[in-house]
Each structure stands twice: as C-alpha cells, then as structure tokens.
Amino acid sequence: MREIVFDTETTGFSFADGDRMVEIGCVELINRVETGRTFHAYFHPERPMPAEAQRVHGLSDAFLADKRRFHDHALELLEFIGDCPLVAHNAGFDFGFLNGELGKCGHPHVGMHRMVDTIVLARTRHPGAKHSLDALCNRYGIDRSHRVVHGALLDAQLLAQVYVELTGGRQIGLGLVTEIIEVQTSFQPDAAPAIARPPRTFAASDAELARHAAFISKLTKPIWEQV
C-alpha cells in the first residue's frame, strides 16, 4: 500500500484570507516503510512574509525571492502524490492550502476522502495527552534534535516515523502490545461489494454419535457423575 506523508509551511493560517503556501515536503511510504523517495519544493508566495510566520519556519522574503511559483511545480507534485492516501498532522490545515493552491492554478482539488489526520489517530491512541509533533516524537523516542525551526520536509520525515508508531509500528517499551490499532479511512479504491455467505450448520453424524457414546461408556467415574 502506497501512502504519502506531507507537511506544508505557509505565510499564515488561512488561504481564504490571502495566505499562501511557501514550502511542501512529501515522503513516500510503501506498506508503512519509507522508500527514500521524497518531493520537496519552496514557492514564491507573491506577497510579503509576515514576521510571525517567519519566526516559525525561518523563510524570509529574501530567501523566497528567486523561488518559482506554485503553479510551476503543480504537475510534478500531482504526479508524485498520485491517487493514494495523504497523511498529515492537523491535516485539514494542509489540505486547505494544498487545494487552495491547486484551485488557484486551475487544477482539481485533492479529495478529502484521501485525508489521514495523525492528530485524530493520536487522540484515539493517547486520549488526554499532548498531540503536537514534538510531543509525539518524545513519546516514541524519535530524534528531533535537528529540528530548530519548522521545515516541511523534515517535519514530514518525522511525522512518517510517528505515523508508523501510531498505527502499530516498532515497540520501544517493555510492555506487551495489547491492542491493534486499525486506521480506518474512506479511501477504498476499487473496493468490491461485500458478498454475504449463507450460514453453515455443523451436526455430528449417527456414526460419530455412536463412537462418542462408546467412548464415554468406557470412562471410570466421570466427573459429571460426581456432582
């Protein structure tokens, strides 16, 4: 099964309010194992970078000045993500910007049925705990020492490791796993309709019943006669 874990960096919180995506990082998983294939790009946002956003990801107007626009990378990005599930942390935010940028340059939106949100998985697996990417890395012993500021590709690589843990990956503790986490999404390509099978009945034959009665008759002081 192919999945893409991705993260974005933006100029703010809302594409509808004029904010833009400035970076995307994607990591390919096959059967929950990283393949080494990634997609990473910076984008010129066509607007100034707010100081508060720059403090989060460190991407300045000067750094982004010579970067290409999103539409220059759109086809390459769409080819990489294909039609498989897309995993993100607080995925509604990332999907909002991804679809906003795709729509702005005339491409169809990515269906929300493809969305897998690791915050939802984390809340199910660890109710009441902290669910930030940093907190989950700490919980699962994932090294994030090189994460000085947010970066889309680095965060996607960390999230890929977290996602594997959230869905029953490597076990770092001494306790035994007592549950199986099943990730359910509506993404079911080419799913065949379920076919109900008629119920089957099992009954002993006359010969089997006779052999059983003969065996029972040979028992000495059977437990059911001592009650």
Tally of CA atoms within 13 A in the half-sphere of 194 that contains its CB: 4
Sequence letter at residue 115: M
Residue 163, helix vs strand vs coil: helix
Question: What pairing do the DSSP bridges indicate for beta strands 115-117 and 86-88?
Answer: parallel
Closest C-alpha to 86, from 118, 43, 120, 42:
118
Cα 5 from Cα 159, distance rounded (Å): 7
Sequence letter at residue 88: A
Residue 107 known to be catalytic: no
Q: Are 23 and 152 in contact (CB under 8 A)?
A: yes
Count of other CB atoms within 10 angstroms of residue 206: 7
Residue located via tokens 């799913």: 191
- Give the Å distances, CA to CA, from 158 to 29, 118, 213: 13, 12, 65
Count of other CB atoms within 10 angstroms of residue 55: 10
Q: Identify the active-site residue in 73, 89, 131, 150.
A: 150
Cα 24 from Cα 151, distance rounded (Å): 9
Measured in residues, the chain has a length of: 227
Mind telling me the catalytic residues? 150
